[in-house]
């Protein structure tokens, strides 16, 4: 076995955005890069329940690019099925994962409880994909590693993390495989941040690598410019406030809440929006905000120096809503206000209660703040559907709905290509992953055209030699 060539298997985020999981195997070792949940359409979510294609206990180590659930959220399930190895990641990813995996377990448990109560599961009783105990077991395995420092992952496999500028702690991952047989380097972009992220430093350039796996979430798109989106945000808020309505911003708990607060801060400072009360209604988002605040205060290398100098999250009237009572009290607000609440794609969380209350009234506005996965309520709202279903019944959509893409923390096609152009050498193969089939295909064509690299959109579960 020891002479067999190292291989790579695409276990997820292949012709789809979520479920990031890639297996690197040598004769001696198995390393899983990312361990994400499939999210969105039911058919995708069902894949989380499929038997893992190899025995989880046979995996030596996991390495996580970042804490987003589509990259980390399967970890407790892997542990539940017997994985016991270390989970390497950056220190901030470890800190964020503690918050996100705990929350994810609660959502899984809640979903199972709800299914049992409503009797809609085919299984009786419905079980959660994993429990809080599984999440805590997974958290115990987190093994933080600094950026730009080589560390051993498994016999014959070394890795290092590179700053990816997508969210706090996010990394691209380079794996050096099987050095004694000449060695191959595989590079996993993870999610790549935008060069103009308002808070975080831009991503480090890609290294020289034999094989690259590059995300293509926005592989077929170009973001509106930040200025256009800021202008739209200012207009929506101003006109909604003028007519006495409420502004609801569903926002991902990690990074998006920070980016939105920063934008509101800048608009308020420059007098482009009135000073309105702002409520951040998500305990998880507030925990994450605490980590961002600490990073700003500590002179974190990933935070833009000019941002650390001001407090971008402090607008004149921000209220933190932690308790359920705090959240419920927002229902009786009678003056124009801004509510920021999770989840960002309206798949669950407190934002649903606000949507149910605010969507039927044309005075109000809902501002979606980033990528909306197919099959989510956020996607349906962005697509202009006139009703959305929540809590078992239909709610009419009469509020204004806007989607602002520059709040995305993913690079778009031109930004991804400009970033790839910084690679010092040409890979033998460039695989486009983490995108819809259309987005990945578009980016494959762009990479082929601009760089002349051999670019491939792999098939789910496909295995290739490294
Ligand atoms: Zn991400």
189, part of any domain = yes
Residues 341 and 361 in one domain: yes
234, part of any domain = yes
Residue 2: per-residue pLDDT = 43
Distance from the alpha carbon of residue 40 to the mean position of ligand 1, in angstroms: 15
Distance from the alpha carbon of residue 68 to the mean position of ligand 1, in angstroms: 5
CA distance 238 to 53: 52
31, part of any domain = yes
- Residue 141: CATH number of its domain: 3.60.15.10
Distance from the alpha carbon of residue 232 to the mean position of ligand 1, in angstroms: 25
Residues 422 and 400 in one domain: no
Distance from the alpha carbon of residue 2 to the mean position of ligand 1, in angstroms: 35
CA distance 373 to 410: 14
Among 390, 407, 424, the domain-final residue is 407
Residues 245 and 378 in one domain: yes
Residues 257 and 339 in one domain: yes
Task: Give the per-residue SS3 of the chain.
Answer: CCCCCCEEEECCCCCCCCCCCEEEECCCCEEEECCCCCCCCHHHHHHHHCCCCCCHHHCCEEECCCCCHHHHCCHHHHHHCCCCCCEEECHHHHHHHHHHHHHHHHHHHHHHHHHHHHCCCCCCCCCCCCCHHHHHHHHHCEEECCCCCCEEEECCEEEEEEECCCCCCCEEEEEEECHHHCCEEEEECCCCCCCCCCCECCCCCCCCCCEEEEECCCCCCCCCCHHHHHHHHHHHHHHHHHCCCCEEEECCCCCHHHHHHHHHHHHHHCCCCCCCCEEEECHHHHHHHHHHHHHHHCCCCCECHHHHHCCCCCCCCEEEECCHHHHHHHHHCCCCCEEEECCCCCCCCCHHHHHHHHCCCCCCEEEECCCCCCCCHHHHHHCCCCEEEECCEEEECCCEEEECHHHCCCCCHHHHHHHHCCCCCCCCEEEEECCCHHHHHHHHHHHHHHHCCCEECCCCCCEEEC
247, part of any domain = yes
The tens-digit pLDDT sequence of the chain (466 residues) is 445 789 999 999 999 999 999 999 998 999 999 999 998 888 888 999 999 999 999 999 999 999 999 999 999 999 999 999 999 999 999 999 999 999 999 989 988 888 788 766 666 778 899 999 999 999 999 999 999 999 999 999 999 999 999 999 999 999 999 876 679 999 999 999 999 889 999 999 999 999 999 999 989 888 877 778 889 999 999 999 999 999 999 998 899 999 999 999 999 989 999 999 999 999 999 999 999 999 998 889 999 988 877 778 876 689 999 999 999 999 999 889 999 999 889 988 899 999 999 999 999 999 998 878 888 999 999 999 999 998 888 999 999 999 987 777 788 999 999 999 999 999 999 999 999 999 999 999 999 999 999 999 999 999 999 9
Residues 292 and 281 in one domain: yes
Whether the Cβ atoms of residue 6 and residue 178 lie closer than 8 Å to each other: yes
176, part of any domain = yes
Among 368, 389, 407, the domain-final residue is 407
Distance from the alpha carbon of residue 217 to the mean position of ligand 1, in angstroms: 10
Distance from the alpha carbon of residue 300 to the mean position of ligand 1, in angstroms: 20
374, part of any domain = yes
Its domain, for residue 435, covers 7-221+409-465
Distance from the alpha carbon of residue 13 to the mean position of ligand 1, in angstroms: 12
Residues 385 and 445 in one domain: no
Query: Which is it for strands 429-433 and 455-456: parallel, antiparallel or unpaired?
Result: parallel
Residues 345 and 460 in one domain: no
Distance from the alpha carbon of residue 17 to the mean position of ligand 1, in angstroms: 10
Residues 388 and 413 in one domain: no
Residue 180: per-residue pLDDT = 65
Distance from the alpha carbon of residue 193 to the mean position of ligand 1, in angstroms: 9
Distance from the alpha carbon of residue 322 to the mean position of ligand 1, in angstroms: 25
Distance from the alpha carbon of residue 64 to the mean position of ligand 1, in angstroms: 11
Among 371, 389, 407, the domain-final residue is 407
Distance from the alpha carbon of residue 213 to the mean position of ligand 1, in angstroms: 15
Residues 209 and 341 in one domain: no
Residues 424 and 309 in one domain: no
Distance from the alpha carbon of residue 242 to the mean position of ligand 1, in angstroms: 36
Distance from the alpha carbon of residue 166 to the mean position of ligand 1, in angstroms: 7
Residue 314: per-residue pLDDT = 75
Residues 393 and 300 in one domain: yes
Residues 340 and 431 in one domain: no
In total, how many domains does the chain have? Answer: 2
What phi, psi does 224 have (nearest 5°)? -60, 155
1, part of any domain = no
Distance from the alpha carbon of residue 352 to the mean position of ligand 1, in angstroms: 22
- Residue 268: CATH number of its domain: 3.40.50.10890
Distance from the alpha carbon of residue 276 to the mean position of ligand 1, in angstroms: 30
Distance from the alpha carbon of residue 457 to the mean position of ligand 1, in angstroms: 20
2, part of any domain = no
């Amino acid at each position: 076995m020891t002479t067999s060539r190292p291989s790579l298997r695409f276990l997820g985020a292949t012709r789809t955005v979520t479920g990031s999981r890639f297996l690197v195997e040598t004769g001696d070792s198995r390393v899983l890069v990312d361990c994400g949940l499939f999210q969105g359409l039911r058919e995708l979510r069902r894949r989380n329940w499929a038997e893992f294609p190899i025995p989880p206990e046979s995996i030596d180590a996991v390495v996580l690019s970042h804490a987003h659930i589509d990259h980390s959220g399967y970890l407790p399930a892997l542990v539940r099925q017997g994985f016991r190895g270390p989970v390497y990641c950056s220190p901030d990813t470890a800190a964020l994962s503690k918050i996100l995996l705990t929350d994810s377990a609660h959502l899984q448990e809640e979903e199972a409880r709800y299914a049992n109560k409503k009797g809609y599961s085919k299984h009786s009783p419905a079980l959660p994909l994993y429990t809080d105990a599984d999440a805590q077991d997974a958290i115990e395995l987190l093994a933080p590693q600094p950026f730009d420092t080589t560390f051993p992952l498994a016999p014959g496999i070394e890795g290092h993390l590179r700053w990816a500028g997508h969210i706090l702690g996010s990394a691209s991952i380079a794996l050096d495989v099987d050095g004694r047989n000449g060695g191959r380097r595989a590079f996993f972009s993870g999610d790549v941040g935008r060069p103009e992220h308002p808070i975080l430093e831009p991503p480090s350039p890609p290294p020289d690598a034999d094989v690259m796996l590059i995300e293509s979430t926005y592989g077929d798109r170009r973001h509106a410019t930040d200025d256009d989106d800021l202008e739209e945000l200012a207009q929506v808020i101003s006109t909604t406030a003028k007519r006495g309505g409420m502004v609801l911003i569903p926002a991902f708990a990690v990074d998006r809440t920070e980016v939105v607060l920063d934008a509101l801060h800048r608009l308020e400072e420059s007098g482009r929006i009135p000073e309105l009360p702002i409520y951040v209604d998500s305990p998880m988002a507030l925990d994450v905000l605490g980590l961002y605040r600490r990073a700003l205060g500590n002179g974190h290398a990933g935070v833009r120096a000019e941002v650390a100098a001001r407090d971008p999250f402090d607008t004149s009237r921000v209220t933190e809503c932690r308790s359920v009572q705090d959240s419920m009290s927002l229902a009786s607000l009678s003056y124009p206000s801004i509510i920021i609440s999770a989840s960002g794609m309206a798949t669950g969380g407190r934002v649903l209660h606000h949507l149910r209350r605010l969507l039927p009234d044309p005075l109000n506005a809902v501002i979606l703040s980033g990528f909306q996965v197919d099959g989510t309520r956020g996607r349906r709202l962005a697509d202009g559907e006139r009703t959305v279903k929540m809590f078992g019944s239909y709610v009419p959509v009469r509020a204004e709905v806007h989607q602002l893409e520059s709040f995305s923390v993913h690079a778009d096609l031109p930004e991804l290509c400009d970033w790839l152009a910084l690679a010092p050498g040409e890979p033998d193969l460039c695989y486009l992953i983490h995108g819809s089939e259309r987005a990945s295909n578009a980016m494959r064509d762009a990479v082929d055209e601009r760089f002349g690299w051999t670019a491939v959109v792999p098939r789910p579960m496909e295995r290739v030699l490294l």
